[in-house]
Amino acid sequence: MPWRGRGELPREVGILAVVAFVVALGFGVVAPAIPLFARAFGVGTTAVGLAVSAFAFFRFVSAFGGGSLVERFGERTVLSAGLGIVAVTTGLAGLATSFPLFLALRAAGGVGSAMFTVAALSLLLRVAPPSHRGRAAATWQGGFILGGIAGPAAGGLLAELSPRLPFFLYAGFLILAGSVAMVLLRPSVTPQRSAAPAGTGPDLAAADPVGLRTALRSRVYLTALVANLGVGWVLFGVRNSLVPLYVTEELGRTVAWAGAGLLAGSVAQALGLLRSGRLADTWGRRPALVLGAGLATASTAALVLPPVLWVFLLSMALFGLAASFLASVPAALVADVSPARGGRVVAVFQMSADLGAIAGPLVAGWLTDVASYQTAFAVTTAVLAAGLGAALTLPRTAGAAVRE
């Protein structure tokens, strides 16, 4: 659809945000049930962890293939197919009668999730004009955050009734999200022309996709990859795996305090997304990314100090605020590098976060076992500091602000 003006996002952004909310809501509902359902097969703790990680691992290894499918068949088709795969495998997982079958279905669901995520992000970044890319990414992430906050509470209650029930409900949510995408997203979306003043930006309708090799030679793209690795390492990895144990074992508090810290981070991130995207567009990508990466580095560095409850809560809230920038600015940088349909460029960007989500818990957990929680948090701080260093090396003209 044509670009209507500089004060309004394309309609596809709002649709994708609604789809993201429904998907995250459903995932939040099923998340508490996965370990309980796996335990019902009489398996050990390691096997339960495998049931959780299989989804993430297959999501990671299939993302590049998902990007190739996007370039061949288009975002709408791949997005809907991915949601359909996750819906079918999740519903069947709820009917599984053996652990190997349950594990295989979870792994297949990871493939569908990769297809959906890569296609949705590729479409989002393609339709948003340069002056609104940060806001588009923030809006999309906001859908995930709100759904992620609402889902687990309902999921815990449903799992108490039956560990199979959340799987059926999640499948229903995914069918709903896929239907919304098929009906409301156009079969082919023409990339928007730049909203920058005439002569200052490319004609995106005529732009060719940027090859992955070309993107990997770009300092801007490499910075986005490093920053996204840190996001996956902490936000989707260490925060969920190490923080609850840190609260109970180091701080000597109940798991409810761990929940309070995670909630503080989610609320801070949701509030930060209201402004981070606009700052990335009007202030500029480089200063917005430096701010986000700096706050993230400081937040985990605080956990290297002797354990204190108020420091922990402040750290969680600070990282949530930082994550609002890290969730929007790197994505906008990827769109600046590849404004046309570039599924593989987006796929590798997504893979960087998935790699962090897989490696983060493993490395941090091992360091905790052989050294201490403080050592694990110190290494985590170094990972985030790498993103800060990369942001500082960005050209000052990278993603230069488009004044409204």
130 in Cβ contact with 73 (< 8 Å): no
Do 26 and 162 share a domain, yes or no?
Answer: yes
Residue 187: per-residue pLDDT:
61
- Identify the CATH number of the domain in which residue 79 sits: 1.20.1250.20
- Quick check: is 102 in a domain? yes
**Which residues have CB under 8 Å from 87's CB, separation 6+?**
171, 172, 174, 175, 178
Q: What are the C-alpha distances in Å from 331 to residues 10, 94, 242, 325, 339?
A: 17, 34, 27, 10, 11
Residue 238: per-residue pLDDT:
84
- Quick check: is 220 in a domain? yes
Residue 51: per-residue pLDDT:
78
The Cα–Cα gap between 201 and 198 comes to 7
Do 249 and 285 share a domain, yes or no?
Answer: yes
Helices 219-233, 329-337: inter-axial angle, 10-degree rounding = 150
| CA nearest to 340, candidates 196, 215, 170, 200 | 215
The separation between CA 27 and the C-alpha centre of its own chain, rounded to angstroms, equals: 13
Residues in the chain: 404
The Cα–Cα gap between 404 and 223 comes to 26
- Quick check: is 1 in a domain? no
- Quick check: is 216 in a domain? yes
- Quick check: is 52 in a domain? yes
The Cα–Cα gap between 174 and 158 comes to 17
- Quick check: is 119 in a domain? yes
Residue 1: per-residue pLDDT:
40
Do 285 and 178 share a domain, yes or no?
Answer: no
Do 308 and 375 share a domain, yes or no?
Answer: yes
353 in Cβ contact with 228 (< 8 Å): yes
**Could you give the angle at the alpha carbon of 224 between the alpha carbons of 218 and 230, nearest 5°?**
140
What HEC string does 351-367 produce? HHHHHHHHHHHHHHHHH
Residue 55: per-residue pLDDT:
84
Do 122 and 231 share a domain, yes or no?
Answer: no
DSSP SS3 for 145: helix
φ, ψ (nearest 5 deg) of residue 402? -105, 110
Q: Which amino acid is at 335?
A: A
224 in Cβ contact with 333 (< 8 Å): yes
Do 173 and 234 share a domain, yes or no?
Answer: no
Do 160 and 274 share a domain, yes or no?
Answer: no
Do 232 and 174 share a domain, yes or no?
Answer: no
- H helices, E strands: number in the chain: 17, 0
Do 352 and 261 share a domain, yes or no?
Answer: yes
Do 282 and 155 share a domain, yes or no?
Answer: no
Query: 249: how many CB neighbours lie within 10 A of its CB?
Result: 12
Question: In the chain, what is the straight-line distance between the N-terminal and C-terminal CA atoms, in Å?
Answer: 22
pLDDT in 10s for each residue of the chain, 404 residues: 444 444 578 889 999 998 988 888 888 788 778 877 887 888 776 677 777 778 888 989 999 899 999 988 888 899 999 999 999 999 999 999 999 999 999 999 999 999 999 999 889 888 888 888 899 988 988 888 778 777 766 666 676 778 788 899 889 989 988 888 888 886 644 444 434 433 334 444 445 567 788 888 899 999 999 999 999 898 877 887 788 888 888 999 887 888 888 888 888 988 998 899 999 999 999 999 999 999 999 999 999 999 999 999 999 999 999 999 998 899 999 988 877 666 889 899 989 998 988 888 888 888 988 999 999 999 999 999 999 999 999 987 765 554 44
Do 67 and 163 share a domain, yes or no?
Answer: yes
Residue 45: per-residue pLDDT:
63
- Quick check: is 201 in a domain? no
List the structure tokens of 14.
């709002």
Do 25 and 163 share a domain, yes or no?
Answer: yes
List the structure tokens of 261.
């810290």
Indicate the number of domains in the chain. 2
Burial 289-299 (b: 16+ CB within 10 A, else e): bbbbbbbbbbb
Domain membership of residue 388 as a residue range: 210-392
Residue 380: per-residue pLDDT:
95
- Quick check: is 173 in a domain? yes
The Cα–Cα gap between 268 and 316 comes to 9
Residue 192: per-residue pLDDT:
42
The Cα–Cα gap between 176 and 156 comes to 22
